[in-house]
Amino acid sequence: MPNSPIYFFHGLESGPIGTKYLRLSEDFEVTSPDFQGMDIWERLEKAERETEGMSDLVVVGSSYGGLLAALLYSKHPERFHGYVLMAPALYRDAADEVERMPENAVVIHGIHDDVVPIDAVRDKCAELGVTITEVDDDHRLHSSLDLMAEAVHKVLEAP
């Protein structure tokens, strides 16, 4: 397995050590910064500081954390190997700043999500040439945790 740093960016109402982090930790050494109480721009500043000077970064971003990962990549693609976005909040105004996604981007979204509108995510992914993986799940994507881990393995294996 490549020696890429793996980060988990949590959602708006969750914390750094949740279900997705715990599942990822079964397979990987994961760093999960605490962004609780921060708006998206404060989160971006912190993520920029945390990842400064890095390369081959793999980020899993959940909901608001998915928006954060997309913003960070758009500003600093040289830091990334790729990312996995879980129900990314690409419907928020800040999503207008997302101008590109990695070629190996994985976006997973539940068709029963009642928090993040799937149509906005479909539109943004189509605009940027990324295929969205739609799953029979809700916003929390608890039935898709193994799929998330598999996606990280695939991103790590990609050239």
> Mean pLDDT over residues 27-38, rounded?
96
- Give the separation between CA 115 and CA 52, rounded to whole angstroms: 31
Per-residue confidence band for 159, with pLDDT thresholds at 50, 70 and 90: confident
> Mean pLDDT over residues 24-40, rounded?
96
Q: Which helix (H) or strand (E) holds 149?
A: helix 145-157
Predicted pLDDT at 146: 97
pLDDT tens column, 93-142: 999 999 999 999 999 999 999 999 999 999 999 999 999 999 999 999 99
> Mean pLDDT over residues 76-100, rounded?
96
- Domain locations along the chain: 6-157
Predicted pLDDT at 105: 97
Q: How many CB atoms lie within 10 A of CB 139?
A: 18
Fold of 6-157: Rossmann fold (3.40.50)
> Mean pLDDT over residues 58-64, rounded?
98
**Could you tell me which of 14, 27, 118, 117 has the C-alpha nearest to residue 61?**
14
